[in-house]
Amino acid sequence: MPRKKQRRAWGSITTVSKDKQIIRWPENTPEGRKRRSRTLRCTRSEADLELARLRVMHADDRPVPTVGDAYRMWYLPWIDRRVQDGRTKPNTREAYAICWRNVIAPRWDSVPVDSVQPAKVQEWLLTLSVGNANHAVVILRKVLDFAVQYELAGANKFRLPYEMPVRKAAVRRTGTYDLAHAEAMLERLRGTIVEAPYILSCFGSARTGESLGVKPDEVELVESHGMKLAVVPIVRRMEKTGDLPLPDGDLKNPQSVRTTVIPEPYGVLYHGIARQRMADGSGWMADRGDGLPLDINSLTHAWESAAGADAIPFANLRNSWRTIAQYVWRIDYDTMEFLMGHIPPGISGKHYLKPTVANLVDAVARAMVQSQAG
């Protein structure tokens, strides 16, 4: 039996069951004033939110919502749709939700959307860290866009050009390896848990997290122009912490899903490690010793311990690869871009160049043979 209808200042909600609500509200139409109703599969609190949204849009005396109301009524459903259709990553949505809860809501949740004062916004922004300020502005601009769209605010005050916090200069370790140094470091790392990810990053273009997400049975050894090369699909990555990678395809951006090519002798060595991993029953190239892959934090610790004073940031191995590939191996620019998971610039790069794995293998092998011939 439905519970008794609960009247409100505007509209009503009848609870049929814990997850079924009927909302009713008046609405002015070209044919006159009409009564509307809708059955929702949701909780009572979610029905309250939907009725509040309808009141803002249809009531004769529609109230001005607060920034928090606008966030809950319009922004959250909007970003949830973007996550569902793949335009926004779940991690991004979660990061924005944390920023709202911890940074934005304490200051702006109860402020009406038509009462945002630019001077107060500026004062507040300068109290935040660089990262929080940047996230907050992205969120609040979109929230107030909805208020302007529904004619509840005359202008979006968060879209004014504000002075943003500046990141303090930090001492950042830099540096890359030339080919001789890269090969010497590889010899030092032989037999360690860092060896496989090192090869994939320094001689195969992988980002740090990508170097940890490869499975041994995915590594293939091919031959082209008399040279053996390892072909490695890059489809997953590890994060700073965790026992397993993110889902397949969840890389930095869509084009990061790719196949990279490691030339001889490094590719032969990488393929040999893959065969040994399979013989040992391991499912990961970057096995940490217990059948699970290293995460980035563990790799960083192991890398710095093994490399010692000669260690550069592991991420800079990708920079080293790019420098070696361009100036020593003389791989052509477009091929390097595809191997790195980039889209070459221009119309051709965006729409026309679609190399196969065989094309990439041929381009790398040909360049290597020519560079070795002098």
Q: What confidence tens digit (pLDDT) does each residue in 165-206 have? A: 987 765 556 799 999 999 999 999 999 999 999 999 999 999
Per DSSP, what are the bridge partners of residue 365? none
SS3 6: strand
For residue 65, what pLDDT is reported? 84
Q: Exposure of 236 by Cβ count < 10 A (0-12 exposed, 13-18 middle, 19+ buried)?
A: buried
Tokens of 232: 């490695």
**DSSP code per residue over 232-244:** EEE-----SS-SS
Q: Cα angle vertex 249, ends 208, 283, to 5°?
A: 65
- Other C-beta atoms lying within 10 Å of the C-beta of residue 24: 15
For the segment 31-73, what is each residue's pLDDT rounded down to a tens digit? 666 777 778 787 877 777 776 776 666 555 567 789 998 999 8
Residues in the chain with pLDDT < 50? 1
Three-state SS across 145-168? Answer: HHHHHCCCCCCCHHHCCCCCCCCC
Tokens of 324: 């070696």
For residue 38, what pLDDT is reported? 77
Q: How far is CA 336 from CA 136, 344, 369, in A?
A: 36, 9, 16
DSSP 112: B
For residue 169, what pLDDT is reported? 60
For residue 39, what pLDDT is reported? 80
- Give me the torsion for CA of 59, 65, 69, 71, rounded to 10°: 110
N-to-C CA span, the chain: 87
Closest alpha carbon to 301 in 208, 234, 235: 208
For residue 1, what pLDDT is reported? 47
- Tell me which amino acid residue 144 is: L
- Other C-beta atoms lying within 10 Å of the C-beta of residue 323: 15
Q: Give the chain's domains with CATH numbers.
A: 6-159 (1.10.150.130), 179-373 (1.10.443)
With beta carbons less than 8 A apart as the criterion, state whether 351 and 340 touch: no
